[in-house]
Structure 1
Amino acid sequence: MSFLSSMNISASAMTAQRLRLDVASQNIANIDTTRTEAGGPYRRKMVVLEARNENSFKKVLMNAAGKSWQQSTGGVRVSQLVEDTSPLKSVYNPEHPDADENGYVQMPNVDLIKETVDSMSATRSYEANITAFNAIKMMASKALDIGK
């Protein structure tokens, strides 16, 4: 695996973690949203990550034919954004415009603590990948210094 492949892996992870942080921010921003375009209260969104396909058919075929091919790269990618299907929260507030006949309002299923933990986790993962990326850059720089 070349150092460029390592950089691509770290970059894919940073992109995925940035999206996780964006989704957590969106969930927090909509913590009190009782009306959406689709109708009903906002539902918490979650990011599903999966490993990138490391060996495409072309790479396997080229290796089997004895032709050199760039080393396969790994990494992570976002496979989908899903809505949390956990039940919505019922809050008694008869003065709210979206209250039902009993005075209850259906509130989003967003939990501030969960979103804070997700944000912290995404931030730490992002920072770890920055550290790995910088280590790869330093190794490449030192390798270039050998030729001097």
Structure 2
Amino acid sequence: MSLFTIFNVSGSAVSAQSQRLNVVASNLANADTVAGPDGQAYKARQVTFQTVMMGQTGAAEAAAGVQVSNVTESAAEGRRVHDPDHPAADAEGYVTYSNVNPVEEMVNMISASRSYQNNIEVMNTARSLLMKTLQLGQV
């Protein structure tokens, strides 16, 4: 695998983690929202990744990158709180909130952020190695 392929692989991972961070941010922003006019509360979303082959297909040194295959909504029920004075309360006096777990989302955000940072570090290291290789030819 050439050093140039590393940029493609790490770049695909950075892009995927960026999308994951956007989904986590959306989940956190809607953690305390109540059911909308349609009666449905916000559902937490999760990103699913899939492997994608980079470079020439069938090559002996093919590299694998990553991409977002889909974003799915959680099927879990929203949190119900008894608050008959709330404007969004149903006939029984319950308010349905989103099913977002802020603690899980924070862990997910830290994981995505670290993965993003690690892939940036991989690209910086590859760039540094390429620069040192070029400097060898200048001597």
Give me the TM-score of the superposition, normalised by structure 2.
Answer: 0.90
Aligned residues: 138
Match of 2:108 among 118, 125, 132: 118
Percent pairwise identity: 35
- The residue correspondences of 1:1-148 to structure 2 (distance < 5 A) are 1-36=1-36, 39-54=39-54, 59-60=57-58, 72-148=62-138
Contact 2:35 2:95 in 1 (8 A): no
* Residue number in structure 2 paired with 1:66: none
Shift of 1:34: 2.2
Q: For 2:37 and 2:130, locate their aligned partners in 1 and report how far apart those are by CA, in whole Å.
A: 50
Question: Matches of 1:51 and 1:38 in 2, distance apart?
Answer: 37
Task: Quickly say closer, same or farther: Cα 1:54–1:11, change in 2 above 3 A.
Answer: closer
Matched residue SS, 1:52: strand
AA aligned to 2:20 is R
Provide the C-alpha distance between the structure 2 equivalents of 1:139 and 1:17, rounded to a whole number of angstroms.
24
User: Any idea what the Cα deviations from partners look like across 1:73-103, whole Å, max 9, x if unmatched?
Assistant: 3211000000011121111111122211111
Where 1:75 maps in the other structure, the secondary structure is strand
Post-superposition CA distance 1:94-142 (Å, at most 9, x none):
1122211111111100011011111111111111111111110011111
Give structure 2 stretches of 5+ with no counterpart.
none
TM-score, normalised relative to structure 1: 0.84
Counterpart residue identity of residue 21, structure 2:
L
Query: What's the Cα RMSD here?
Result: 2.0
Deviates more, 1:35-44 or 1:23-32: 35-44
| Change in 2 beyond 3 A, CA 1:13/1:38 | farther
